Amino acid sequence: MRDMQSWIAVMIICTGLLAGCGAEEDVAPPPPPPPGPKEVSLIMLRAMAAGDGPAAAACYDCSVEDREYLTKTMPFLDAAYRLVTAGTEAYGKSAWTAASDKANVGMIVPDIENAEQNMQCEISGKYATSTLKGLPNPLRLHKKGDRWLIIPEERQLPPLGQRGDVLKAMNKVKVAIEKVIPKIGAEGVSADDICNEVRKALNQKTTEQKTGIIFGND
């Protein structure tokens, strides 16, 4: 009888332990904290590099209409990214940078590895600044609720009534850039030749002013 009681006691204890373990497994782990300002900045740059417009736009503190506009600029940014990447690989970073500076096109694309290693972030209360060599301007962020969001630069968001024309201009430059990309690295074609063709596509700075989101030279 004592043996039977002992087994019953052991079974009750084990059942209790199993129930306890099961209960703990059913409790969902707490959600991770929202990303900080540096991580939000990196998320945006990674999205730009991947051509993911919605993900990039979601990092900004702006209206639905503004996010839609930023998303629609992504095909142009993607073409610029492919141009700069191909130019850098074909001619070397120094030669490409010198040619783009000489032609005054100064196209800037996110160097993700460099950003992950070298981006600096300063936080002051509910505001933060992410700085990275190669970006035309620091990214400014503020905390809204529990989220850090990027504050758009003024020239990123033209007036609503002008956005259709700006997107049309971007698309024309995108088409021109896509025609230039296959020429990169061809025999007898220099970095200067490529950047000068891009300069023509930019229509003597008119388009650059409209698409200042990625042009660093004034």
pLDDT tens profile 117-150: 889 999 999 999 999 877 778 999 999 999 999 9
Six token digits for residue 1: 């009888």
Six token digits for residue 172: 């024309």
Mean pLDDT of the 16-43 span: 68
pLDDT at 168 over 80: yes
Q: Read off the pLDDT of residues 70-98 as tens digits, 9 standing for 90 and up.
A: 999 999 888 988 999 999 999 998 999 89
Q: What is the pTM of this model?
A: 0.73
pLDDT at residue 21 in the model: 42
Q: What is the DSSP letter of 135?
A: S
Mean pLDDT of the 192-209 span: 73
Determine what percent of the chain falls in helix, strand and coil, rounding each to the nearest 5: 60, 10, 30
pLDDT at residue 111 in the model: 77
Q: What is the rounded CA–CA span in Å between residue 46 and residue 155?
A: 21
Domain ranges (residues) in the chain? 37-210
pLDDT at residue 175 in the model: 93
Phi, then psi, of 86 in degrees rounded to 5: -65, -40
pLDDT at residue 25 in the model: 54
Q: How far apart, in Å, are the Cα atoms of 189 and each of 105, 130, 195?
A: 18, 37, 11
Q: How far apart, in Å, are the Cα atoms of 112 and each of 133, 173, 191?
A: 12, 24, 23
Strand order across the beta sheet in which 147-150 lies: 120-124, 127-131, 139-144, 147-150
